[in-house]
Structure 1
Amino acid sequence: MNAQPAFPTTVDLVPGANTGRIVFGADTLAGDGVALAVPAALLAGPAGGVAVARLSPAAAVVESDGFRCLADGELLFGVSSIDETGTGDGLGVTTELAYRRLFTTMAALGYPVLVRVWNYLAGINRQEEGVERYRRFNRGRQRAFAAAGQALTGRVPAACALGVPAGPLRIAFLASRRPMLPLENPRQISAYHYPDDYGAYSPTFSRAALLQAGACENLFISGTAAIVGHRSCYTGDVVAQAEETVANLLAVIAGANLLLDRAAFAARQLDYVVYLRHAGDLPPVRALLLARLGVSPERLVFVAADVCRAELLIEIEAGGRVEARGRA
């Protein structure tokens, strides 16, 4: 992990009892809300965290199998962290345990559909006994999905996995009582169909997920990078990678609108978290994204974090919601 600006150890949660948040630049959180603290430097954005899940005002805080959750009868947002256990394949074992607990929590509280997952782990590109840690993570995740009877392809959640300097595996998730629609990107091979070059256990996620909740249609776009087909593009050139990443984001947004049969989502109306391997890349990347996405600056949050492939310098996730129309 590259050197990062210093950040506070503890951050006070901002009010918002029915909002699930991810707070970057913190090891721990103080307050009664439900949020995930992620020790990756916040380069630009709100210190109070990124709102990734909005539940109804009736949401209540519940605890289940190591997860602290918000539940409102329709949506479930939960967070947890777990130290790596054992030796050798410690991260794989820890990941499998964490996801088994996640699925147990969903079942116990009655939210059967996993919609979106955020994963943050130490040393994501580091080799351990000749195996990259991200591949160990994928192994544990896929084993837990299989053990829980979850699909390994097709109807799988949107997700991201980023590297942080140190600490436990940290997970946030959103589950639902309604079905979600997974989306893929015609410019890319589905991650769960990657060839064995990327590991014996493919990443278990879709490129995005559409979910109708309450009166809103919600779009969750997974962590997206400069990958075409299954290959990384423009090694060493962060601006070219950012441009290719935008092309992938726009393709996913177009796919969501096609599924909904209307121009529901526009790039300029979404919120973005931009993960940069090198903090010094912020100025040129921010300028490009403001121009290409047409967004106002407050919709862009920048975080220093490592991406799942060592040659990738940038990853972007996005989300937004609009009024729902005519979908059961």
Structure 2
Amino acid sequence: MNDCRYICRSLRESQADFSAMVRSLLNRYQPKNVPVRLVFFGDVTDNVRYREELDIIRKEADIHFGDKLPVISYVAQKPLDGSGLVMEAHELKILQGETVEYKSLWTNFYITVTSSHVKHLFLGGVMSDNLDESFSVQSYNVFDIVEKILQIENMPVHSIVRQWNYIEQITAFDGEHQHYQDFNDARSFFYNYSQWPEGYPAATGIGMACGGIVVDINAVYADDASIKIDAIDNGWQVAAHAYSQNVLFGEKDPRFQSKTTPKFERAKRVKQENYEIVYVSGTAAIRGEESLLEVGIEKQTQATIENIDYLISEENIRRQGISFFGSSYRLKSCRVYLKDISLMENARVIVEKLYSDVESIYLLADVCRDELLIEIEGIASV
């Protein structure tokens, strides 16, 4: 079995003028495969400055890449390693017979990688034009854009295999409406267009300081058996899409009879030819559907990593009747989201001990429940 064809690596830049940091990251970046996504993480706390810095990133990336521009996202999360700006680069190994095309709809750029029977789509930085609108309106606007692009590419909604959802002040309320619940209701409305025969996408729903709603998507669709896709559940956790109303907060969307659940799987495996990738969703210290309470950052970090390790273990995968192709899975890269700067050192000691060979980014972000201190996501392969 070959290594993962979808590769993530990160570059860091020390504090400097913002434009200079962006140019330095781009100039230092030496892709080994086709770059399909660049995600920038920076310490910005108001929407005016966020828009200005996003425009700088887009301008510099356009100059640097020309007509082969990766999709660009800017996430308002402070890097916790002292960096002024972090750039995470996602690259794809192009297989024989595949064609790469760079496309756009309005101001939304995306990439397709197509062979005779398979299409991959990479879409990023999808956001509403007006960050002053309600989070419900922004969420519906974002999914309208995603829907139109999928329709243009003749890809069904259920072809989405990985989704990143960045939500400003994720657990905050506007009146009776929680930002995260409003987003989940809009996502549920959008997902209702599809039957999801291979399960929902792997996903992360994480907070950011500003920026409204930003969504990144990887999708893949085949008209034959070229692609094998499996949803991976975790026997230690209730599936997020099966949560009870007890762990959902805020007023429901009037389109629904009750608050809708977060529609994602704990992980999603994609196999094409001899390549496999496992997208590990944002994972926290939850057992069943309940958070581990009053145990501190050390135990929450330990429990989170235990959840991930069991999730991608041979035991858990075989338990679900999923074919296992003979090699264990291991995280190759991860993001560690922490609720407070003070948690950084205690969490990092544990992460680096247990994931010593995993490339990690540490970021300041609210997690989807107030009591959760840490969340980890990643990409695994054989």
**TM-score category (smaller protein):** 0.7 to 0.9
SS at match of 1:49: strand
Q: Check 1:153–1:60 CA distance in 2 against 1; reply closer, same or farther (3 A cut).
A: closer
Aligned positions of 1:136-151 closer than 5 A: 136-146=182-192, 149-151=193-195
Q: Identity of paired residues, percent?
A: 22
Q: CA deviation at 1:84?
A: 5.0
Q: CA deviation at 1:318?
A: 1.0
Q: CA deviation at 1:154?
A: 6.6
Greater CA deviation, 6-15 or 24-33? 6-15
Confirm or deny that 1:22 pairs with 2:82: no
Q: Check 1:208–1:117 CA distance in 2 against 1; reply closer, same or farther (3 A cut).
A: same
Separation in 1 of the partners of 2:203 and 2:91?
14
Confirm or deny that 1:59 pairs with 2:97: no
Q: Check 1:22–1:125 CA distance in 2 against 1; reply closer, same or farther (3 A cut).
A: same
Q: CA deviation at 1:304?
A: 0.8
Confirm or deny that 1:99 pairs with 2:136: no
**Which residue type is aligned with residue 64 of structure 1?**
L
**Which residue type is aligned with residue 35 of structure 2?**
N
1:196-250 per-position Cα deviation (integer Å, ceiling 9, x unaligned): 1214110011101001235411110000000000001033611111111011101
Separation in 2 of the partners of 1:45 and 1:316?
19
**Which residue type is aligned with residue 168 of structure 1?**
G
Which residue of 310, 316, 324 corresponds with 1:261?
324
The question of whether the paired residues in 1 share the 8 Å contact of 2:239 and 2:265 is answered with yes
Q: Check 1:309–1:263 CA distance in 2 against 1; reply closer, same or farther (3 A cut).
A: farther
Q: CA deviation at 1:102?
A: 1.0
Alignment match, 2:72 = 35
Separation in 2 of the partners of 1:194 and 1:315?
18
Q: Check 1:86–1:168 CA distance in 2 against 1; reply closer, same or farther (3 A cut).
A: closer
Greater CA deviation, 18-27 or 245-254? 18-27
Confirm or deny that 1:274 pairs with 2:336: yes
The question of whether the paired residues in 1 share the 8 Å contact of 2:131 and 2:211 is answered with no
Separation in 2 of the partners of 1:55 and 1:95?
32
Aligned positions of 1:233-272 closer than 5 A: 233-235=292-294, 237-254=296-313, 258=318, 259-267=322-330, 269-272=331-334
Confirm or deny that 1:180 pairs with 2:229: yes
Q: Which consecutive segments of 4 or more residues in structure 1 shift more than 6 A?
A: 5-8
For the pair shown, the structure with the greater C-alpha radius of gyration is 2
Alignment match, 1:325 = none
Q: Check 1:240–1:84 CA distance in 2 against 1; reply closer, same or farther (3 A cut).
A: farther
Q: Check 1:136–1:43 CA distance in 2 against 1; reply closer, same or farther (3 A cut).
A: same
The question of whether the paired residues in 1 share the 8 Å contact of 2:329 and 2:380 is answered with no
Confirm or deny that 1:77 pairs with 2:122: yes
SS at match of 1:43: coil
Greater CA deviation, 90-99 or 59-68? 59-68
**What RMSD over aligned residues (CA atoms) do the two structures have, in Å?**
2.7
What 5-or-longer segments of structure 2 have no aligned partner? 1-13, 44-52, 223-227, 250-258
Greater CA deviation, 153-162 or 199-208? 153-162
1:287-323 per-position Cα deviation (integer Å, ceiling 9, x unaligned): 1112223x32x6111111110111111000010334x
Separation in 2 of the partners of 1:127 and 1:223?
22
Under a length normalisation based on structure 2, what TM-score does the superposition of the two structures give?
A: 0.74
Alignment match, 1:224 = 283
Q: CA deviation at 1:45?
A: 9.6
Alignment match, 1:191 = 240
The question of whether the paired residues in 2 share the 8 Å contact of 1:45 and 1:301 is answered with no
Alignment match, 1:326 = none
Separation in 2 of the partners of 1:153 and 1:133?
29
Under a length normalisation based on structure 1, what TM-score does the superposition of the two structures give?
A: 0.85
**Which residue type is aligned with residue 308 of structure 1?**
C
Separation in 1 of the partners of 2:269 and 2:279?
6
SS at match of 1:59: strand
**Which residue type is aligned with residue 123 of structure 1?**
Q
What 5-or-longer segments of structure 1 have no aligned partner? 323-328
Alignment match, 2:8 = none
Q: CA deviation at 1:110?
A: 3.1
**Which residue type is aligned with residue 344 of structure 2?**
L
Q: Check 1:152–1:201 CA distance in 2 against 1; reply closer, same or farther (3 A cut).
A: farther
**Which residue type is aligned with residue 302 of structure 1?**
Y
